[in-house]
Amino acid sequence: MPRSESLWTGTVDPAQYPPLDADARADVCVVGAGIAGLTTAYLLAREGRSVVLLDDGRPGAGQTGVTTAHLSYEIDDSYVTMVRLHGAEGARQAYHSHRAAIDRIEAIAQLEGIDCDFQRVSGYLFPADRHGAREIDEELEAAKTAGVTVQRLDAAPVKGFYSGACLHFPRQGQFHPLKYLNGLAAAFARLGGRLHTGTRVTAVTGGTPATVQTTGGQTVTASAAVIATNVPFNDRLVIHTKQAPYHTYVIGARVAPGAITHALYWDTDDPYHYVRLHRVTKAQLGGDNQDAVDILIVGGEDHKAGQAQDAEQRFAKLDVWMREKFPAAREVEFRWSGQVMETQDGLAFIGRNPMDEENVYVATGDSGMGLTHGTIAGILLTDLIAGRANPWADLYDPSRIRTGAAAEFVKENLNVALQYASWLTGGEVASVDEIPPNSGAVLREGLTKVAVFRDEAGELHRRSAVCTHLGCIVAWNPAASTWDCPCHGSRFDPMGKVISGPAKSDLADAEKG
Ligand SMILES: Cc1cc2nc3c(=O)[nH]c(=O)nc-3n(C[C@H](O)[C@H](O)[C@H](O)COP(=O)(O)OP(=O)(O)OC[C@H]3O[C@@H](n4cnc5c(N)ncnc54)[C@H](O)[C@@H]3O)c2cc1C
Ligand code: FES
């Protein structure tokens, strides 16, 4: 049976730092130690700022620990979309910013001596079916309009996979995200940065000074605050109407080393498949020697978060697709899933938090490219906090409105509105007897709904199923063992404890909720 964890958490332990136990003062307080928060904190510290970085868990405990770690300037939402929504100049800036992010990760790894398996690899976009060839030609045209370095090939010159006609993006990157984060955290600490894990933040208030409050009762005061919690918890609506949570699935299968060329591979399907390889040792997989093994990482099968509960079928479909395209794949060692925030115009929101004080900044809306977007956030927010001009500021401005994205805005917000109808429907199961151990389901009880989790010992744990953000009904996510909100992406552990916002508080007691 494959391990239900990512290749990254399965091979590296995220670093741990002491929790914040007293009030503190800093130039900047950053909340969230994923790639966005850590890069921002590190770059600010490099410029001599005093920085306090707070995280509820450990660095990488969020989505950076379950990524697939493609570092690419081929935009997930395509250059066709970039040119249509952001114009040729916007598409050009998107290209430059993502390319600069890959360069910056490589430079930081070199400067700080971070052994994170960083590797330059080619990226190939290949057709999912016979219609895909046309999409590839359109993407080539749009990419050229944006000035992207790209070429069309009859087939990718690789071992172990036949792509057909494809686009080649040279000098992309890949790395081990947790090795990188651990190294970045250590470098931040060497620069005098103060990182506190196990510290949950409940409120951020802008002003002079900005204040950041924790569940432990401590307050950090700072000249500026950055919210890099993947989904911001201090915004009730402005950003949440402009992005939507999607759940995505990954499997990692053994491959003989060298049987498939290390590269980034994507198809044109919707949702698309994303593929890469990572080399580990047999010992890291529980074996007794240091022989090399390649893990073929295959992702896809995305759906709107909280709106599907067929994880087994999705993993099975990925497996079938992988074996058809990559016949060298052997047994699946890892399988995992995670959440991405899709913005209506395909780019992240990085900058001043809309309708907040001037000194509160946000990084969110990863759009499936959160490693490069998170690194762009570090570069851009450091400039904004220092009062320097940055050419990408308008492109990523969280307050931006792109009129061409109106249809996507209406579609996603209609979808959110429809979720409230689940207040009126029945439960996922009629009785708790239908809930197997280590699983959960939502039940109707009179006028409300209850989220019931049955633990391994068979004991039932009941919480209100009403999301504490804006009242949608959560759904059980069997792949990640979480309660996921279908509206704006809040997630709760099986006992109802909030893992990620925008909800700030845990699911209520079932008897009171
Ligand atoms: C399966 C999958 C594959 C992906 N593949 C790619 C890829 O190939 N390339 C790519 O570029 N991107 C990819 N992404 C997206 C990318 O991994 C993420 O967008 C990115 O890692 C998010 O980084 P982050 O710093 O914004 O958030 P996170 O890594 O989620 O970090 C946020 C941190 O904030 C902390 N936090 C949250 N709330 C609070 C609070 N109230 N108080 C204190 N701390 C808090 C959390 O503990 C967490 O550590 C993928 C995502 C998934 C799920
Ligand atoms: S995340 Fe907004 S209602 Fe649940």
pLDDT digits (tens, 9 = 90+) for 79-101: 999 999 999 999 999 999 999 99
Q: Measured between alpha carbons, how far is 434 from 81 in angstroms, rounded to an integer? A: 45
Asked if residue 55 lies in contact with residue 196, where contact means CB atoms within 8 angstroms, the answer is: yes
Beta-bridge partner residues of 84: none
- 353 secondary structure, DSSP code: P
Q: What integer best gives the mean pLDDT of the chain?
A: 93
- Asked if 331 and 233 count as a contact pair (C-beta separation under 8 A), the reply is no
User: Identity (one letter) of the amino acid at 489?
Assistant: G
Q: According to the 3-state scheme, what is the secondary structure of 37-71? A: HHHHHHHHHHCCCCEEEECCCCCCCCHHHHCCCEE
Counting ligands in written order, the one closest to the CA of 416 is 2
Contact 503 CB / ligand 2 (< 6 Å)? yes
Question: Does a cis peptide bond (omega within 30 degrees of 0) precede residue 502?
Answer: yes
Q: What type of residue sits at position 452?
A: V
Give the pLDDT of residue 419.
67
Would strands 194-196 and 439-445 be described as parallel, antiparallel, or unpaired? unpaired
Given CA atoms 338, 343, 345, 350 in this order, what sign does their dihedral have?
Answer: negative
pLDDT digits (tens, 9 = 90+) for 165-176: 999 999 999 999
- pLDDT value at position 328? 98
Query: Alpha helix (H) ranges present in 173-265?
Result: 177-190
Contact residues of ligand 1, CB 6 A cut-off: 31-37, 54-57, 61-64, 66-70, 200-201, 228-230, 233, 248, 250, 299, 338-340, 366, 368-372, 374, 500-501
Say whether pLDDT at 49 is over 60: yes
DSSP-derived secondary structure letter, 284: G
**Strand bridging mode 491-492 / 498-500:** antiparallel
Per-residue pLDDT tens over the stretch 281-317: 999 888 889 999 999 999 999 999 888 889 999 999 9
- The DSSP output letter for 3 is B
Tokens of 265: 């591979």
CA–centroid distance, residue 290 to ligand 1 (Å): 31
Give yes or no for a contact between 327 and 320, defined as CB atoms under 8 angstroms apart.
Answer: no
Does position 36 have pLDDT exceeding 70, yes or no? yes
Quick one: average pLDDT of 458-487? 92
For the stretch 250-260, pLDDT in tens is: 999 999 999 99
What is residue 243's predicted lDDT score, i.e. its pLDDT? 86
Ligand 2, pocket-test mutation among 419, 420, 488, 500, most atoms within 8 A of CB: 488
- How many whole angstroms from 472 Cα to the centroid of ligand 2? 6
299 CA closest ligand 1 atom index: 1
Residue 472 in contact with ligand 2 by CB distance below 6 A = yes
Distance from the CA of 39 to the center of ligand 1, in angstroms?
Answer: 12
Atom 3 in ligand 2: which residue has the minimum CA distance?
470
pLDDT at 135 over 60: yes
d(CA 283, CA 335): 19
Nearest-CA residue for ligand 2 atom 1 is 488
**The predicted structure's pLDDT at residue 422:** 67
Q: Which two tokens stand for residue 133?
A: 């060839």
Cβ density class 368-380: b for 16+ within 10 Å, e for less:
bbbbbbbbbbbbb
Phi, psi of 501 (to 5 degrees): -75, -175
| Dihedral of the alpha carbons of 158, 163, 169, 172, in degrees to the nearest 10 | -60
Strand partners, 281: 292
- Overall average pLDDT of the 251-280 stretch: 96
Burial class (CB in 10 A: 0-12, 13-18, 19+), 213: middle
Give yes or no for residue 162 having a pLDDT over 80: yes
Instruction: Report which of 180, 176, 181, 212 is spatially closest to residue 17, judged by C-alpha positions.
Output: 181
| Residue ID of nearest Cα to ligand 1 atom 26 | 230
Q: Which residue is closest in CA terms to ligand 1's atom 16? A: 370
- Overall average pLDDT of the 337-362 stretch: 93
CA of 506 to the centre of ligand 2 (A): 12
| Nearest-angstrom CA–CA distance, 408 and 42 | 35
| Residue 491 beta carbon below 6 angstroms from any ligand 2 atom | no
Query: Alpha-carbon distance 359 to 352, whole Å?
Result: 7
With a cut of 90, say whether residue 470 has pLDDT above it.
no
**Pairwise CA distance, residues 308 & 478, whole Å:** 10
Residue nearest to atom 4 of ligand 1 (CA): 67
247 C-alpha to center of ligand 1: Å? 13
- What average pLDDT score do residues 471-483 get? 92
Q: Cis ω on the peptide bond leading into residue 2 (within 30° of 0)?
A: no
What residues have CB less than 8 Å from 294, skipping those under 6 apart? Answer: 254, 255, 256, 257, 258, 259, 260, 262, 277, 278, 279, 280
- The whole-number average pLDDT for the span 147-175 is 97
Closest CA to 362 of 309, 324, 399: 399
Instruction: Give the pLDDT score at 237.
Output: 63
Mean pLDDT of 179-186: 98
Residue pLDDT, tens place only, 370-408: 999 999 999 999 999 999 999 999 999 999 988 777 777
Q: How far apart are the first and last CA of the chain?
A: 38
Establish whether residue 507 lines the binding site of ligand 2, counting it when its CB lies within 6 angstroms of any ligand atom: no
Percent of the chain beyond pLDDT 90?
80
pLDDT at 513 > cutoff 60: no
Ligand 2: residue of 247, 466, 468, 485 to mutate (most ligand atoms within 8 A of CB) is 485
Cβ–ligand 2 distance for 466 under 6 Å, the answer no
- For ligand 1, the distance from its centroid to the CA atom of residue 479, given in whole angstroms, is 17
Q: Is 467 in the pocket of ligand 2 (CB under 6 A)?
A: yes
The ligand with the least distance to the CA atom of 468 is 2
Rg from Cα positions in the chain = 22
Average pLDDT over residues 485-509: 91
Q: How far is the CA of 328 from the centre of ligand 1 (A)?
A: 31
| Separation of alpha carbons 293 and 283, rounded Å | 10
